[in-house]
Amino acid sequence: MRVAGLISGTSVDGIDVAVVDIGESIRVVATATFPYPPDVRATILSVSNATTHTATIARLNFLLGELFAEAVMKSGVPLETIDLIGSHGQTIFHEGEPVEFLGRKIASTLQIGEAAVIAERTGIETIADFRTGDIAAGGKGAPLVPFLDHQLFRHPELARVALNIGGIANITVIPPNAAPDQVIAFDTGPGNMVMDAVAPPFDRDGALARTGRVNEALLGQLLADPYYHRDPPKSCGREQFGAEFIRDTGIDIATSTELTARTIALAIAGYPATREVIVSGGGAHNSYLMERLAALLRARVTTSEEFGIGVDSKEASLFALLAYQTHQGRPGNLPSATGARKPVILGKISRGTKPSPGA
């Protein structure tokens, strides 16, 4: 089955598409990225974990549906060969830990990018909203990528860690020949979100961080945050590392890059058997950050390219795989990673106008 996966990550750069053939194995057919127009990006950031008007959220949801649909149509793969679409959408709020709300404990997440629009424009059955089902089952709705990591990177003898450096950085710990419930995964802390905010649009190759000076006093304070020392499962987002964090800490690019590297290394140090760290996400392009990781980690550092998955398309490939799972009536979360009570069939299915792909 040919499935298109779609995501725009927490760094809100644009829409990543991966078209993937899924059967016995997973083969990436095409990938593409479509940056958001600046006014769209600014509007997304203005509504993310922020005060806004309901109208803006509603309209943006439909507008992003159009852009996500266009991303599939411009991916270069003939639309009539695509059987299914899996769309993560754009997260504008995520709170995996329950909070007190109107007398109940409520965890929640909110992704936009209207799937009904994607299904209508493309004619293709579209599955979206993959995080809500995990939260409904008591999980944190994140991370979801361990499901793909486990399928792709499990090794009969080697202990591996898959590291994704998106807006937030997260790791998947995969023991040798791991069963699904032996996989551990969690957000390590900030990824590109803080670095990009202090050196917009981003610090190419980490050049600014390389020549800057780390504020050791601030770094020490930040590393004392209990989040880094808490046991998984745990997840974080723009709520912790957004505009308020930048403003309150006055952090610079050298310090934020070192904070990212050190919090990743701290997390991986908890799994001393690790022999290989497989990096993906935009942070994999940051050669200074990659050097810092190689220096801090006691393991071989490589990228997902070695396994046929471009560093920028792992998450999009994940949502293709998760849509496939849902279409087959199979769960897509790893409870050991998200903290859910059980595996659940994720996502919501919007029918397209093409005949449904055979189950």
Per DSSP, the three-state class of 319 is: helix
Alpha-carbon distance of 298 to 289, in angstroms, equals 15
CB of 114 to a copy of itself, least distance (A): 6
Select the residue interacting with a copy of itself from 4, 15, 84, 110 (CB under 8 A).
110
Pairing of strands 276-280, 160-165: parallel
- 130 touches 346 (CB < 8 A): yes
Q: By CB under 8 A, what part of segment 299-328 binds a copy of itself?
A: 326
Q: Does 193 bind a copy of itself (CB under 8 A)?
A: no
Tokens for 252?
A: 């610079």
Longest CA–CA span in the chain (Å) reads 61
Alpha-carbon distance of 197 to 181, in angstroms, equals 36
Q: Does 348 bind a copy of itself (CB under 8 A)?
A: yes
φ and ψ at residue 303, rounded to 5 degrees = -125, 170
Closest-CA residue to 260 (of 286, 231, 299, 278): 286
Pairing of strands 160-165, 168-174: antiparallel
Which is nearer to a copy of itself, 8 or 350 (by Cβ)? 350
Q: Does 83 bind a copy of itself (CB under 8 A)?
A: no
Whole-angstrom distance between the N-terminal and C-terminal Cα of the chain?
10
CB of 99 to a copy of itself, least distance (A): 7
Tokens for 224?
A: 């004392």
Which of 15-23, 62-70, 75-83, 273-281 is the region at the interface with a copy of itself (rule: CB under 8 A)? 62-70
Select the residue interacting with a copy of itself from 35, 62, 76, 308 (CB under 8 A).
62
CA–chain centroid gap for 51, Å, is 24
Q: Does 51 bind a copy of itself (CB under 8 A)?
A: yes
Tokens for 125?
A: 């059955």
Q: Kindly write out the interface string for residues 124-143 of this chain, putting x where it contacts a copy of itself by CB under 8 A and - elsewhere.
A: ----xx--xx-xxx------
How many CB atoms neighbour CB 81 within 10 A?
A: 10
Select the residue interacting with a copy of itself from 3, 18, 119, 183 (CB under 8 A).
119
Which of 116-124, 169-177, 186-194, 313-321 is the region at the interface with a copy of itself (rule: CB under 8 A)? 116-124
Select the residue interacting with a copy of itself from 109, 170, 235, 286 (CB under 8 A).
109
Select the residue interacting with a copy of itself from 23, 25, 104, 200 (CB under 8 A).
104
Residue type, 329: G
Tokens for 72?
A: 């599939």
From the number of C-beta atoms within 10 Å of its C-beta (0-12, 13-18, 19+), residue 322 rates as buried
Q: Does 329 bind a copy of itself (CB under 8 A)?
A: yes
Q: Does 79 bind a copy of itself (CB under 8 A)?
A: no
Closest-CA residue to 200 (of 236, 249, 243, 169): 243
Q: Does 334 bind a copy of itself (CB under 8 A)?
A: no
Closest-CA residue to 191 (of 293, 277, 316): 293
Select the residue interacting with a copy of itself from 30, 35, 59, 244 (CB under 8 A).
59
Q: Does 358 bind a copy of itself (CB under 8 A)?
A: no
Q: Kindly write out the interface string for residues 84-103 of this chain, putting x where it contacts a copy of itself by CB under 8 A and - elsewhere.
A: --------xxxx---x-xxx
Q: Does 66 bind a copy of itself (CB under 8 A)?
A: yes
CB of 138 to a copy of itself, least distance (A): 9
Which is nearer to a copy of itself, 18 or 115 (by Cβ)? 115
Q: Which residues bind a copy of itself (CB under 8 A)?
A: 37, 39-40, 43, 47-55, 57-63, 65-66, 92-95, 99, 101-104, 106-110, 114-117, 119-121, 128-129, 132-133, 135-137, 326, 329, 344-345, 347-351, 353, 356
